[in-house]
Amino acid sequence: MDDSTLRFTSSLDVDSALAFYDIMGSLAHVRMLKKCGIIPAEDADLIIDGLKKIEKTLEDGELELDENLEDIHTNIEFKLTSMIGPAGGKLHTGRSRNDQVATDFRMYLRDAAMEAVDKVDDLIMALLRVAEDNAETIMPGFTHMQHAQPITLAQHFLAHAFRLGRDADRFVDAVDRMNKCPLGSAALAGTTYPIDRKMTADALGFKEPTENSIDSVASRDNVSELAFCAAMTVVDMSSICEELVLWSSQEFGFIEMDDKYTTGSSIMPQKKNPDIAELIRGRTGSIIGGLVAMLTMSKGLPLSYNRDLQEDKGAVMDALDSVTFSAEMLAKVILTTDYHKDRMLEVTQKGFINATDLADYLVTKGVPFREAHGIVGESVRYCIENGKGLEDLSQDEFRQFSPKIEDDIYEFLPVKACVERRNSYGGTSSASVDTQLSLAIKQLMARDDSVREETQFIEKCWEELLN
């Protein structure tokens, strides 16, 4: 192979991250070969001992890789053979690089996705803690970035928590769907050796073997699905970041971020820049790009394995790493930010945020909603022309728009009353928010328990393979 061909085809800079999983996959494979009598027991024991020593070297950070070998799999196999001699060459019996790579990458993605879920759940917990402390913090709710109706900061952050919860659930669902073992599919058609695929699947913590050997080595829908999960999650985080950037501006003044999670200007000493929020928002583009790259790479591939699939790793690995780190940093920002409750309440006095409540009031007096809508519009126009708010109008002023408006209107218009009357399921009243908070905590705890059990199970599998 020409040196330029080696450089062009090498994947070592990316797939070196699979070293641990390659060793684990090989340990499971050789134990199966020994049990099934496919290779001599003494050779299998030599291979197992050698792989354990390589894993220890990796754990100690002393594993040296040969850049003249094209990938991590070849590096480990050559290292094993140089350590134990010709017996090392028997490790590859009954498998191909195709099913080996597919298996290693699934194990890597399983762990990386669970780590992402863990950090997203930490972010959700941060949102829930702020929500719990701000059940009575009233702020404007927005549609079209215009003041719409008064809400609480608690309900606003709960909205982010629930959609991030769905993001975490998508990761968990995707892992469950991909948690089948390709090992034993060989190049594409299976193998003539009497292997036990269930044994290797169990040893590596998979639910079961994959059903079709061609599909096992050809398909990367699991990678694309995780790329989508990452993209959707960071899109939702970017939404939070956009709000934090806006809210920290002088125009909004809703929040002040902690100095530890902001940066200063190189020339303007008075500035505090929300750089973490901006960077998460900016990195969304590359993560979405990873999804587009996976789908584009996959769209024209015939069955079964094609070398194009070597390009399935880098972008998705980066995307999962970025989501994990971004969620970790955003949680710190959320928890340390100072939320200016008085400012949030102050701005609810602008923009006629209680206009809908005046319309609802008229409906309770028997006025059809569409007619009430028109009456309120006229009232708001009058207020604008006279520099008043709806709550500032006198009884006589109200009556020029509708005789149905009585003295009890003043119980309807304060923003606190507007919030508390919205007590429908999922609404912004304190009672509704308490219900949402309890539900969000319950969902979070259930997912955390599930992820912890899966993580502990996988760790137990590694311990058994290394013993």
CATH of the domain at 47: 1.10.275.10
10 labelled catalytic:
no
Same domain membership, residue 245 and residue 127: yes
Q: Is residue 34 part of a domain?
A: yes
**pLDDT tens readout for residues 49-66:** 999 999 999 999 999 999
Residues 193-199 have a mean pLDDT of 98
Could you tell me if residue 260 is inside a domain? yes
Identified catalytic residue from 92, 147, 238, 265: 265
Band of the pLDDT at 269, cuts 50, 70, 90? low
Please state, in angstroms and rounded to a whole number, the distance separating the CA atoms of residues 24 and 465. Answer: 7
Q: Is residue 429 classed as helix, strand or coil in its secondary structure?
A: coil
Q: Please tell me whether residues 320 and 262 are part of one structural domain.
A: yes
- Is residue 191 assigned to a domain? no
Determine the Cα angle at 57 with ends 44 and 115, to 5°: 100
Q: Are strands 146-152 and 138-143 parallel, antiparallel or unpaired?
A: antiparallel
Query: Hey, what are 10's tokens?
Result: 């090498």
Looking at residues 414-422, what average pLDDT do you find?
Answer: 93
**Residue 390 belongs to a domain:** yes
User: Of 58, 93, 128, at which residue does a domain stop?
Assistant: 93
159-183 residue pLDDT tens:
999 999 999 999 999 999 999 999 9
- CATH of residue 451's domain is 1.20.200.10
Count of other CB atoms within 10 angstroms of residue 381 = 11
Cis peptide before 304 (omega within 30 of 0): yes
Which domain covers residue 161, as residue numbers? 98-183+218-347+436-466
Which tens digit of pLDDT belongs to each residue from 203-233?
999 999 999 999 999 999 999 999 999 999 9
Whether residue 136 is contained in a domain is answered as yes
**Average pLDDT across the chain, whole number:** 95
What letter would DSSP give residue 301? P
Say whether both 136 and 17 belong to one domain: no
Mapped onto helix, strand or coil, the DSSP state of residue 439 is: helix
Give domain status of residue 315, yes or no.
Answer: yes
* pTM attached to this predicted model: 0.94
The 3-class secondary structure across 349-371, one letter per residue, is: CCCCCCHHHHHHHHHHCCCCHHH
Is 209 part of a structural domain of the chain?
no
Element (H, E) at 139: strand 138-143
- Per annotation, catalytic residue among 144, 266, 394, 424: 144
Phi, psi of 394 (to 5 degrees): -80, 170
User: Residue 369: pLDDT band by 50, 70, 90 thresholds?
Assistant: very high
Residue type for position 150: P
| Domains contained in the chain, number | 3
- Say which CATH number the domain at 376 has: 1.10.40.30
Token digits of residue 182: 């390709």
**pLDDT tier for residue 351 given thresholds of 50, 70 and 90:** confident
**What percentage of the chain carries pLDDT values higher than 90?**
93
- The pLDDT score that the predictor gives to residue 267 is 74
Residue 204 lies in a domain: no
Known catalytic membership, residue 265: yes
Question: Same structural domain for residues 33 and 63?
Answer: yes
